[in-house]
Amino acid sequence: MASGIRDKVVILGAGCSKFGERWDCEPADLMAEAFEECLTDAGIEKNQIEAAWQSTAIDASSVGPGSMPLSMGLRLPYIPVTRLENYCASGTEAFRAATYAVASGACDIALALGFEKLKDMGYGGLPQRSRGVTNDLYYPNLSAPGMFAQLAAGYQAKYGTDKTDLKRAMAHVSVKSHANGLKNPKAHLQRAITEEQVLRAPMIAEPIGLYDCCGVSDGAACAIVTTPEVAKSLGKDNLISVKALELCTSNGEEGGYEGWDGSHIRTTRIAAKRAYKAAGITNPREQISMTEVHDCFSITEMVTMEDLFLSEDGGGVKDTLDGVFDADGQVPCQIDGGLKCFGHPIGASGLRMLYEMYLQLNGRAGDRQLPDPVFGLTHNLGGFPHQNVVSVAIIGQHGA
């Protein structure tokens, strides 16, 4: 019987670059910015890192394939480096690989670094990409907002939600994240917006408007992981450990077979259940202190609250409007601004979320510090509502 990952690995250090339109930066500049912070935080030398994982989702528009970009970017000392791509879950995947390497005893100290340079495309939004030679023959000529807008259509159809209520809840998601992002000096977007602004913004993909979409950014984030024993030997006393690291990938059933109604993300529910079990969480709404979820679009965040069992099915609209997930609510969500305002350099995003949870759990989150968090949950959703990969990670005070 597998013994799981809970409390076997701790975060020794974390770092994150400023996210945004970093016109003057090469990917290596962003990597170094995040890594220097991380290394200082960890209190180790570069040559103590025994293995590294690099996460980048869209290689063609940044650095090309392979793991040399990270190894060369940081001038790592000829250690094993592996590149990982798993859509928007890429960052969490790199963290998962590093964590497993440490947990297995293959190495004592490992690095996970994710980055993305998206702002060299010449147009806004994510780049148009191939889905594979054969898939391109019949997949719709889709955009990300177009696919996630359908989550709203499915949700509305299932619950008979009034369109105005839904749009208001979606707007509240974005207004809240902008308010949070205002307190984060590394966030891409640092300005407050009003519900009215969101509702009046140009339509991108019915019913997703401009302010329902997250930022598309350049950035890098990283974490160094080790065992609790090594961390203690390095003088660390407040240990933040990995409680659960779950991944769930669609097998085509949602989009190809009866049953799934388009109102939720099946993989998130499966991954969340596994993660709660692994972390010993029985009542997530009471026990999870805060979340960083994949708010690529406002509707995604709202539905994710239900998929993570933080809201009851069909209760997302009311909970959102009631402020349950606001900074001063019961389970604050995107306290750092989220993808919405911190930004979304795809390969970095999972690690950026973990970075914020780590800061919060260490009491080092500055103006946005939450009182006494115990468990932080991060969630990534890569792909589309009907076929995707989802990661759910829970980190928390060691031994909690």
Partner 1 sequence: MAGITAYGAYLPRMRLQKQVIADANSWFNPGLKGLAKGEKAICNWDEDAITMAVEAYSDCLGRAPGQALGTLILASTSLPFSDRQNSVIVAEALNLETSGLRTMDITSSQRAGTSGLLAALDASVSGKITVLLASEHRQTKCASREEMLYGDGAVAVAVGSENIIAEFVASHSKAVDFVDHFRGEGKDYDYGWEERWIRDEGYMKIIPATVTALLDETGVNASEIAHFILPTDMARVPAMVAKKLGFNTDAIADNLLQSVGSTGTAQALLLLAHRLENASAGDLVLLLGFGQGCDALLFRVTDKIGSTRPSRGVSGYLERRRAEENYNKYQSFNNLLIKEMGKRSEVNKQAYLSAMYRSRSLTNSFIGGKCKSCQTVQIPRHKYCVNPECGAYDTQEDHPMVGAKGTVQTWTADKLTFDYSPPAYFGLVTFAGGGRLMMDMSEVDPGTFDTGAEVSVHFRIRQIDQEAGFRKYFWKAIQV
Residue list 117-136, contact with partner 1 (CB under 8 A): 121-123, 125, 128, 130, 133-134
Determine which one of 344, 379, 386, 398 is catalytic.
344
Tell me which DSSP letter residue 246 carries: E
d(CA 327, CA 334): 8
When the beta carbons of 193 and 208 are compared against partner 1, the nearer one is: 208
Q: Quick check: 160 binds partner 1 (CB under 8 A)?
A: no
Out of 386, 394, 396, 398, name the contact with partner 1 by CB under 8 A: 386
Tokens 């409680």 belong to residue: 243
Q: According to the binding rule CB under 8 A, does residue 147 interact with partner 1?
A: yes
Distance between CA atoms of 365 and 362, rounded to whole angstroms? 8
At 189 the three-state DSSP class reads coil
SS3 assignment, position 398: coil
Position 68 contacts partner 1 (CB under 8 A): no
- Identify the bridge partners of residue 54 per DSSP, sorted by sequence position: 83, 113
Please name the residues in contact with 122: beta carbons below 8 A apart, sequence gap of 6 or more.
none
Q: Shortest distance, CB of residue 209 to partner 1, whole angstroms?
A: 10
Contact window for partner 1 (CB under 8 A) among 251-259, 286-294, 329-337, 352-360: 251-259
203 binds partner 1 (CB under 8 A): yes
Among 104, 141, 164, 283, binds partner 1 (CB under 8 A): 141
Is 172 in the active site?
no
DSSP string, 283-333: -HHHH--EEE---SBHHHHHHHHHHTTSS-TT-HHHHHHHTTTSTTSSS-B
Told to check if 227 binds partner 1 by CB under 8 A, we report no
Residue number with CB closer to partner 1 (185 or 252): 252
Q: Is 178 a catalytic residue?
A: no
Quote the longest CA-to-CA distance of the chain.
58
Q: Which is nearer to partner 1, 139 or 277 (CB)?
A: 139
Between CA 57 and CA 382 the distance in angstroms is: 10
Cβ at position 121, least distance to partner 1 in Å:
8
**Exposure string for 79-109, b = 16+ CB within 10 A, e = fewer:** eebbbbbbbbbbbbbbbbbbbbbbbeeebbb
* Nearest C-alpha neighbor of 359 from the set 371, 347, 369: 369
163 binds partner 1 (CB under 8 A): no
146 binds partner 1 (CB under 8 A): yes
Among 142, 192, 312, 363, binds partner 1 (CB under 8 A): 142
Q: Which of 206, 229, 312, 313 binds partner 1 (CB under 8 A)?
A: 206
**Between the CA atoms of 370, 196, 322 and 274, what dihedral angle is there, to the nearest 10 degrees?**
-70
Decide: is 199 part of the binding site for partner 1 (CB under 8 A): no
Residue 252, interface with partner 1 (CB under 8 A)? yes
Using the minimum distance from each CB to partner 1, give the nearer residue, 78 or 138.
138
Of 16, 38, 88, 333, which residue is the catalytic one?
A: 88
Cβ proximity to partner 1: between 22 and 386 the closer is 386
372 binds partner 1 (CB under 8 A): no
Alpha-carbon torsion, ordered 226, 229, 233, 237, to 10 deg: 90
* 204 forms part of the interface with partner 1 (CB under 8 A): yes
Q: Give yes or no for residue 200 binding partner 1 (CB under 8 A).
A: no
Residue 164 lies near partner 1 (rule: CB under 8 A)? no
Indicate the length of the chain as a whole number.
400
Tell me whether residue 68 or residue 142 sits nearer to partner 1 (CB atom): 142
Q: Which residue has the tokens 């960083």?
A: 292
Instruction: Identify whether the C-beta of residue 142 lies closer than 8 Å to the C-beta of residue 148.
Output: no
Q: Are 335 and 290 in contact (CB under 8 A)?
A: yes
24 φ, ψ (degrees, to nearest 5): -90, 5
Q: How many residues bind partner 1 (CB under 8 A)?
A: 42
Binding interface with partner 1 (CB under 8 A): 121-123, 125, 128, 130, 133-134, 137-143, 145-147, 149-151, 153-154, 156-157, 202-206, 208, 252-253, 255-258, 261-262, 384-386
